[in-house]
Structure 1
Amino acid sequence: MLHYIRAAGRGIRSRARRHSQDDPDAVMRRLSRLLALAIQQESPLDIAVILGTAAELLYFPDDVAFERCTRTVQSHGDKAMRAVVWAVRHRCARAGAGTQRFVVNDF
């Protein structure tokens, strides 16, 4: 799972840089779009990988999106995916006020 998360992080960063060199919010927008799609598809694996990728990049979704991800993964996912969501929530809580949060609008 960690391999997928790190590979996704490299892909997201390179695509964001390639398409928007001067836009610092390009990565957050890409993460937001990918997470919205994963939530719409109710894909626990995609949700876990995208949340893990965002956390590796020190970005976290807003609380509404976190709750939706948690519900989806709890109802459809296995232990490993639930553990990833829990770890990301824990990392976000420990990061405190300095975290970069992104909004997921499309679900």
Structure 2
Amino acid sequence: MEGHQRNLYLYDRFNARVAGVSRDQVATLEFWAKDLGLEFPIFSNPIGHIGIWFNALQAGYPMFNRTTVIIDKWGVIRYMQPGNPDYRGILTVLKQLHEEEGQR
């Protein structure tokens, strides 16, 4: 999450917004976001529906696998990468989407 916070100014250049999802409760996430200085929303999803939707929840394991997802403004998933974020890959996709938008 801290890496996304550091890159917010770059994401903003491509008109992208960041949101996090966690199975933690809202109060825990509020404390955690404040402690880390996060300026983007983190949504509480204790049941795990979002993790299941993005195939980021392992059967029998109570936590999400880290997954980075980029959804364009039409709701189409344009990038999904499990594991730790690949910031270079994220920025490459955002740049591509920004250029596509400029061509419309």
Same fold (TM over 0.5): no
Compute the TM-score of the two structures, normalised by the length of structure 1.
0.27
The structure with the largest strand share of the pair is 2
Compute the TM-score of the two structures, normalised by the length of structure 2.
0.28
